[in-house]
Chain A
Amino acid sequence: MKPAFTNAFAEVITNKEQTIISQWLGLQSKTGRRMSGAEQQEAAREAREFMDGLKSATGNEKSDDINRPAWTPVRDFLSGLSTRRAKSGYTPSETASFVFSLKEPLFAAIEEHLGSDREAALKAVWQTTLLIDKLGLLTMEVFQKTREDVISRQQQELLELSTPVVRLWDNVLALPLIGTLDSARTQIVMQNLLEAIVQTRSDYAIIDITGVPVVDTLVAQHLLKTVAAARLMGADCLISGIRPQIAQTIIHLGVDLSEVTTKATLADAFAEALRRSGLKLAKDQK
C-alpha cells in the first residue's frame, strides 16, 4: 500500500507546508543553540528548500527509497548542509536535530489531516518515521565523513610540519625530530632527509632526537634504517639529543647503536661534524 502512503504524505506536506515549517523552525531554535537574526533567516531558507525538495521527491516518486534519482536534490541538499555544519563547528546532535525535529510537526499535520482514519494515520506516521530516520542517518554519515576528512588532512599537515631538514653549515644538515616516530613518519623523514642530502650535497646529517618522547626498539630500528639509507647516499649520520633516561632505555632494551656516532647534544654533534670536515671554530683574537 505504498502509493497510498506517499499520496497522503505528499498531500499533507503540500497542504500544511506553512504550519510545518513554522513549527519546525520553532523546534529547531528551541533544541539548538541560540541563533542570531541572520542565522534564523538562513535556517528558514534551509527549511523551505528542504520542504520543496521533499515535496517534489514524494510527488514524483511513489517510493520512500531515498537512493532513487527523484531524491537526489534532497540528498544533495542534506549533504551540503551537513558538510557546512561540520566545518563551522556544529555538534553532531545539532546537525541531526535539523532533520529529526521535523518529525513532531509532521506527525501533528498527519494527525490533523487523517485524524478520522486511525489506521491510515498510524501507517503514515510509521512510514514517515522510517523516511526521516533514513534522511537523518544520511546527514550523520556525511557529517562524520567531513570530520574524518578534516582529521586526516590535519594529520598530513602535521607530518609535513614536524619533519623539517635544517642546513647548519655548508655540508652539514640537521634533522630535529619532534614527536613519536612511527613507520609512516620514518618514511617521510627518510625521504625528506635523502632529498635534502642530494640537494645540498651534504656529507653529514645530524638526527636530533631531543623531541622524541619515547625510544623503544621499533623507534631505534627506524632510526637505524634512516642512518643506513643516508649512508647509502654517501652521507655520515650522527645521532644527538639523547637524554639520560633514553640512554638508559636503549641499553636496557639491548638496542645496538654502536655503529652510529651518538652525542648527548646537538652542539657536540655539530662540533664533531665540523671536525670531520676539517673545519675548526676559533675565537676572534682581539
Chain B
Amino acid sequence: MDRIPILKMGEFLLVTIQVDMHDRLALTLQDDLTANIVKHRTKGVLIDISTLEMVDSFIGRMLGTIASMAHLLDAETVVVGMQPSVAITLVELGLSLKGIRTALDVEKGMVTLRDALSAKG
C-alpha cells in the first residue's frame, strides 16, 4: 500500500506530499506521523507541499488536523512550499489555515521552526 515517507532531519520530521491525497492515505499519514513524533520526541514537523498542484477542501482540512494533532504532542508544524495557485484556491475556499505556520521553502521553514521553538523556550 502507498505510504507517504516521513524523514527524520536532525531534530525535525520532514513530510513530503507528492501524490494525490485520499482518505486512506491521510489516515495512514496521521498514524505514522503521530507515532514518529512520539518515538523521536520531535518538537517540529515540516510538511512540504511544493509538488502539489491541486488542492481541495479535504487537503486543507487534513493539514489543519495534522497540525492540531502535532500540537497536542507538543510539536510545532510548518507547511512549506505552497504554490501560488494553491494558495489562491485555499483562500477562495475560505480555508486560510489560521493557526498553522507557513514558510516559502524547507530552508525558511526550518528557520521559522527554530524561531518558534526558541520563543517557547
Contacts and interface: CB of A to CB of B under 8 A. Distances in A.
Interface of A: 187, 190-191, 194-195, 197-198, 201, 203, 225, 228-235
Contacts of B79: 232
Nearest to A232: B87
B84 A234 contact: no
Interface of B: 79-80, 82, 84, 86-88, 90-92, 96-97, 102-105, 108-109, 112
B91 A228 contact: yes
Contact of A234 (B80, B90, B92): B80
Contacts of A234: 80, 82, 102-104, 108-109, 112
A201 B108 contact: yes
A235 B81 CA distance: 11
18 contacts: A187-B88, A190-B84, A190-B88, A191-B84, A194-B88, A195-B84, A198-B104, A201-B105, A203-B104, A203-B108, A229-B84, A229-B87, A229-B90, A230-B87, A231-B96, A231-B102, A233-B84, A234-B112
A197 B88 contact: no
Nearest to A196: B84
A232 B96 contact: yes
Contacts of A187: 88
A235 B104 contact: yes
Given A197-B104, A198-B104, A201-B108, A233 B91 contact: no
Contacts of B104: 197-198, 201, 203, 233-235
Nearest to A235: B104
